[in-house]
Amino acid sequence: MGTAQTQTPSCSRRAIPQPREIGPSRYHGCRPGGDITADVDAIIEQILAATRAKGGRAFQSSRTYSDEPILVRGSQLSSYLPEPIQRVRALAHSPEARAWSDARLFVEQARLMEDYEDDFPYEGEFRSYFPTYQAMTNPQLRGYFTWRTRVREGRVEPTSLSFAFVYLYELINGIGASPGEEAFHAIEGFWRSYRAIDPALDRYVRPWLVDYVVYHGLSPELAAPYLNAAHDRAVQVLAVEEARILEEPPARGRRAAKAKFALDPKREEAVFQALCALSTYRLGESRLFKDDPDALMRVTPVVFDRLVRHYRSGRTQGYVESLFGSRHAMPHLMFASAVFWPGAKHEDCVVRLDDTVTFICQNGFWTCDALHDGGEKSARLGQVLHAVDQRLRTALGHPQPLQDRGDPKYLAQIIDRVVADYLEWRQEHAPRRIEIDLSKLAGIRSTAAVTRDALLVDEEREDAGTPASPEPAGAESAGVGAPATDQTQKDEKDAPLGLSTAELEFVRALLEGRAPAANSMDLLVDAINEKFFDLVGDVVIEFGADGAPTLVEDYVEGVREALS
C-alpha cells in the first residue's frame, strides 16, 4: 500500500467507473455552494465503502497488480502547499525581512498564521534547539498547524517537544490570545496540561510566567506560585537575625559568656525553621527531633549565633553572605531562552513582586534586585546541622548515635560549648514534681476546723452561737486551749471512723434532733461525709431547703450503729 505523504494516487489499468456511478444523484454532498471539503470526504468514503463491500475487488481485474489506489484529498498530499504557508515562505525572502531579527521574523510570520487551521496527517518528529517556522520543513510546518488546531479545540496530544515550545512562543508574543491575563492563563493552562505528558517544560515556563506578569504589569499574586519566595524569605530571616547579633558588643576575653536559652522562643523557632529549610541535612526529620525536639530547637539557634560571632572576628564576609551571597541588582533578560520580540521599547517602571524580589526597567533595559544564588540549599549549612545532631545525641546518650564526619575543629568546639551550657541550663530549669495525696485532705480540713475553733475568743464564740467553755484554773500554764493536746489526739484516734471531737459532736447533735453548733459548717459536713462514704457509699448529711444540715433518713440507723 502506498502512503498519502510519499506517493500520489495511482490507478489500475482498468477504467475507473463512469461518472454516472458517483454523480450528484448518489452523493448528496456534491452540489453548488456546498462545503467542498465535506463533499470530497464524502466521495472518498463512498468509494472506499463500495470497495469493502465488493471484497476489495472494485479496481481489480483478472490481472494481478502490485499497487492499489489510495484515495485522498489534494490538500492532504505532501506536494500540496496551502496558500497561507506559501505567503509565510515568501515573507522570509522579502526585502524588508533581510533587516529583521529571527525573533521578529517569527512574530511577523505567526501573525499571518494566527487563524490558520490544517488537517494534514503528519506522524514525523521535529527537533530543534531554537524552533521557529523557518526551522521546519513544509510537512513539519503543516503537521504543527494540524496539532495546534487540535490544541485550540481542547485536545492536547503528545507531540514533538519543539512543537510545544513554538506554541508557547506564539502565546508569549500575543499570538492566539490577547496580551494580558488572557495570554497568561493560556500559557499556564497549556503548560499544566502538557506537563503531564512531558515535565521538561517546567524549568522554562515557571520563569516565563513570572516575566509575563512583570512585563505586562499584571497582579503580583499571579506570579506568587512561581517565585522561589520560600527560599529567599528563609535567607532574609537569617540575615535579620545576623544583623541583630552583630549589633551586640563582642564578648571580652577568649571564653565567651555562657549561652542563654529560651529568651525569645518565637524568634528562635523562626531561626530554627529557616536553618532547616536552607540546609541539605533534614534536621526536622531527625530521630532526635522526634524524641526530643526541644533540645534541637534550643541548641541550633545558639550555634548559629556563635558562628555569626566567629565570622565577625576572623572573616571579612558575614556568615549568611558566605552561604547564600547578598541581595543585589543584576541585568535581567525577559523570557530567556524563548523567541520573543517586544516591538516597542518598554516604558520605565518598578515592579515589586515580593519583599525579596524587585524588577526595574530603565530605558528598555531590565534589572532584577534579588538573591541570585539559584535557590539551592546549602551543603555547608547541612554539615553544621548534622554536627549539631551528632554531638547533641552523644551528650544526651541517645540510643541511636550518628557517625562523626570529621567536622572542623572550630565547629566542634563551638557546638560542644553550647551543648554543655544547654545541659546545665536544662538541669536548672527542670520542672519540679509536686504530688498531692488526696486521701489526707479530709484530715487537713478537720484539723483546720479544730484549730480555728480553738483560736476563737469568747466574743466570737457568742456571735457564732457557740458557748464559751470556762477555762480551768491554771489552763494557761498547763497549755490548755492549744490546737490539740495529747488527750485530744488519743480521743480522736479512738473515735469511730476516725471522727474528730467536733465531728463526733456534730453527728450526735443531728441524731438527737439538736441544732449543731459549729463554724465553717460546710467544711465539717464534707469531712464527715467523706469518712462515712466508705461505710455507706453515699453522703449521710445534706443541707435542707432552709440551709440547715440534716441526716439522710435512709442512713440514720447506720450512723447510729457506727457511733455506738
* DSSP state letters, 90-158: HHHTSTGGGGS-HHHHHHHHHHHTTT-------------SS--STTS-HHHHHHHHHHHHHHHTT----
Residue 532's pLDDT is what? 82
Q: Is-contact 244 271, C-beta < 8 A?
A: no
Residues of the chain with pLDDT under 50: 1-34, 56-59, 65-66, 68, 71, 468-485, 487-488
What is the CB neighbour count within 10 angstroms for residue 358? 17
CA torsion angle 273 277 278 283 (round to 10): 80
Residue 357's pLDDT is what? 94
How many helices (H) does the chain have, and how many strands (E)? 22, 6
Most distant pair of Cα atoms in the chain: their distance:
155
Q: Which amino acid is at 112?
A: L
Residue 240's pLDDT is what? 95
- Record the pTM: 0.61
Residues sharing a CB contact under 8 Å with residue 393, sequence separation 6 or more, in sequence order: 288, 400, 401, 402
CA torsion angle 194 197 198 201 (round to 10): 10
Digit-coded pLDDT (tens) for 159-198? 999 999 999 999 999 999 999 999 999 999 999 999 999 9
Separation between Cα atoms, residue 209 and residue 30, nearest integer Å? 49
Residue 476's pLDDT is what? 40
Residue 208's pLDDT is what? 97
- Nearest CA among 129, 155, 125 for reference residue 140: 125
Residue 460's pLDDT is what? 59
Q: Is-contact 415 388, C-beta < 8 A?
A: yes
Separation between Cα atoms, residue 275 and residue 273, nearest integer Å? 5
Q: Is-contact 351 358, C-beta < 8 A?
A: yes
Q: Which amino acid is at 114?
A: E
- Nearest CA among 540, 513, 514 for reference residue 526: 540
Q: What kind and span of H or E run contains 354? A: strand 349-354
